[in-house]
Structures are given as C-alpha cells and as structure tokens.
C-alpha cells in the first residue's frame, strides 16, 4: 500500500481552530472529508497559534522540524497583522516569504498549495464591542486579501475566497463560536469542503 498523503496547514487561530474542538477545525474536517471519499491521508500537521502575525508564523517555521516534503500545504494568515495596524507593504512582503516557504514544503509544486483569504471579522459581536470602526476593519481586510490574492496568482497557487461566506455571521450566529469572534465548526465545515475538493482534484 502506498504511504498516506500528507497535509501541512500554516496559519493562526483560524487554522488551529480557536474555541472549537481539535477535530472541528478546518484541517481536521478536510482530512475527514478526504477519507470519506476513499483517499488515504494522514492526520493534518498544523503549525498555527491564536494571535500569530506573519512574522510570528515565520519565526515558528524556523524553529519547527518538518518532514522532507508534504503533498499539500494550506496558508491562511494576516488577520492579526490587520488587528495590530500593520501596513499593507509589511504584510505583502512577509506573506510572500511565507508563500515561498509553503511552496517549498509542497515539494516545490505550487499547484499543491492552497491559500485561503482572511475572514471579515467586522461582522462579529466582538468587533461591534471593540470600539473600532467596522467599515474600517472590513476595508482593511479587503486590502489585505487583494494583496494575498495577487501574490497567490503570481506564484500559481490555488486561492479560495472564504471571506464573503464569513460575512453571513452577521445574520447567522451559528457560524460563530461562543466567544463571538472565531468561526464555529459549522463555518469551518464550509472551508473544508472547498479545500477538500481542491485537493481531491489533484489527487485523482
């Protein structure tokens, strides 16, 4: 039997799944969907932590011991850059560096890397209670996503725009975790369907 396929997921709270059980984050749900479709996959390897910015993820990558290569890699990072008020230029430079790492981890196969857009947290109760201008949050998230999409296209990786779907939390609290900020397992299930479909198209 061939060894199982491998998936590496790089990111922050949206990848590790803050406020949901480990089996409910999007990497775990993605693996479950792939296995249900009779694909042989190992458990996802996740390098992510709540609060991480691009440079903090880069630092963690520098300290982690990785496999020699992964069949697929996902990257979702940037919301904490925006939260801390960092510039687009800073984000663009550091995101590009991370994407280069992701491609290298995917055995230099750019089409085996999946970038997910940053969710729009301006629609959450947490944002409304933060004292920040909600339109400013949404606008800045849009600018960050314009930047990461442009870089993703330049490098020929897959790009999944999950942002519009995250705005549905404005009228559907079931899409949010109990903290009123992070996605619920139900929201993550939507992401995992897109990620699994992308991966499955490349496996077969």
* Amino acid 85: pLDDT: 94
For the chain, domains (ranges, CATH) are 7-203 (3.40.50.1110)
* Amino acid 83: pLDDT: 95
The C-alpha atoms of residue 190 and residue 41 are separated, in whole angstroms, by 20
Q: What is the pLDDT of residues 66-96, one digit of tens each?
A: 999 999 999 999 999 999 999 999 999 999 9
How far, in whole angstroms, is CA 90 from its chain's centroid?
A: 19
**Structure tokens that stand for 9 in this block:** 């997921």
The C-alpha atoms of residue 67 and residue 64 are separated, in whole angstroms, by 10
The C-alpha atoms of residue 85 and residue 63 are separated, in whole angstroms, by 26
Q: Helix (H, G, I), strand (E, B), or coil: what is residue 192?
A: helix
Please, where are the H alpha helices in the chain?
13-16, 26-36, 54-63, 79-83, 88-105, 125-128, 134-155, 163-166, 185-203
Query: Is residue 182 a contact partner of residue 83, using CB atoms and an 8 Å limit?
Result: no
Please report, in tens digits, the pLDDT of each residue of the chain (204 residues total): 689 999 999 999 999 999 999 999 999 999 999 999 999 999 999 999 999 999 999 999 999 999 999 999 999 999 999 999 999 999 999 999 999 999 999 999 999 999 999 999 999 999 998 888 899 999 999 999 999 999 999 999 999 999 999 999 999 999 999 999 999 999 999 999 999 999 999 996
* Amino acid 107: pLDDT: 97
What secondary structure letter does DSSP report for 3?
P
* Amino acid 131: pLDDT: 83
CB-neighbour burial class of residue 136 (10 A; exposed 0-12, middle 13-18, buried 19+):
exposed
């Amino acid at each position: 039997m061939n060894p199982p396929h491998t998936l590496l997921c790089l990111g922050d709270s949206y990848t590790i799944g803050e406020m949901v059980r480990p089996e409910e984050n999007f990497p775990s749900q993605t693996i479950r969907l792939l296995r249900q479709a009779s694909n042989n996959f190992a458990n996802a390897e996740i390098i992510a932590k709540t609060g991480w910015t691009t440079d903090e993820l880069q630092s963690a990558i520098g300290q982690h011991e990785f496999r020699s290569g992964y069949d697929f890699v996902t990257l979702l990072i940037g919301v904490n850059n925006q939260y801390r008020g960092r510039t687009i230029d800073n984000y663009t430079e550091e995101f590009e560096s991370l994407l280069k790492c992701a491609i290298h981890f995917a055995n230099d196969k750019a089409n085996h890397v999946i970038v997910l857009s940053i969710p729009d947290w301006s629609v959450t109760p947490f944002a409304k209670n933060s004292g920040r201008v909600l339109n400013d949050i949404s606008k800045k998230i849009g600018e960050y996503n314009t930047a990461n999409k442009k870089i993703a296209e330049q490098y020929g990786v897959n790009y999944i725009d999950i942002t519009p779907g995250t705005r549905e939390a404005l009228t559907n609290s079931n899409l949010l975790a109990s903290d009123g900020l992070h996605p619920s397992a139900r929201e993550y299930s939507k992401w995992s369907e897109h990620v699994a479909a992308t991966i499955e198209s490349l496996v077969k």
